[in-house]
Amino acid sequence: MALLDTVIEGVATGVGLFSTVSATNKARRAEEKAAERTLDLSRDIFNQTRADVLPQIELGQQATNRLNDLFITGAQPLQSTPGSEFLLDRGVEALDRSAASRGRLFSGAQGEALTQFGQQNASLDRGAQFNELAALAGIGQSGVNTSAQAGGNLAGIGGQAITNAGAARSSGFTNTGSGINQSLNNLITLFNRR
């Protein structure tokens, strides 16, 4: 009966070892798979965020290029807008009517008033165009910031997922080693009792 007990204990030890190694490997694979899914989800979120803000970024780039052309290189001169043309035409008409009603339509004072009005109108139009382009460039900067934040989130989550996968693998090796060690100790104990 002692031999049968020894064989049963030895088989139980072997089954226990197999069970420990198998469970440890399953747990390790599950942890690694969870880390991969986390990283994939984070990457998908980043890619979607990037795609969502790309039009903002492109708009900002176009506005910045236009500002550069207008104010830095001078490659493209500022064009008057239809709104400023309308205001200029109405203003000139008003000044002409006022001067005509006083009999000074072709006077030097009228010419000076028209020149001053035209310069003020052009200055206001240039300022308005600059402000519009600067606002568009700001929209682009907002898109860049959103994209950068999403990238930072991906890096943080991805780094943590990789660390977790490494920890799971390490834990799996440790648990497997412990299971083997325990099984060997059990077998040595069995053989020493004989």
pLDDT value of position 1? 52
Residue by residue, DSSP assigns 69-124 as: IIIII--SPPPPPHHHHHHHHHHHHHHHHHHHHTT-TTSHHHHHHHHHHHHHHHHH
pLDDT value of position 51? 93
pLDDT value of position 56? 92
Give the tens place of pLDDT for each residue, 157-193: 888 888 888 877 777 777 777 777 777 777 777 677 6
- Quick one: DSSP state of residue 174? H
pLDDT value of position 60? 92
The token pair at 135 is 């606002």
d(CA 140, CA 134): 10
pLDDT value of position 54? 92
- Which residue from 171, 161, 172 is spatially nearest to 39, judged by alpha carbons? 161
Parts of the chain with a pLDDT under 70: 1, 3, 5-6, 78, 190, 193-194
pLDDT value of position 57? 92
Give the global pTM: 0.58
**Torsion angle in degrees (nearest 10) through CA of 139, 140, 146, 150:** 160
pLDDT value of position 6? 66
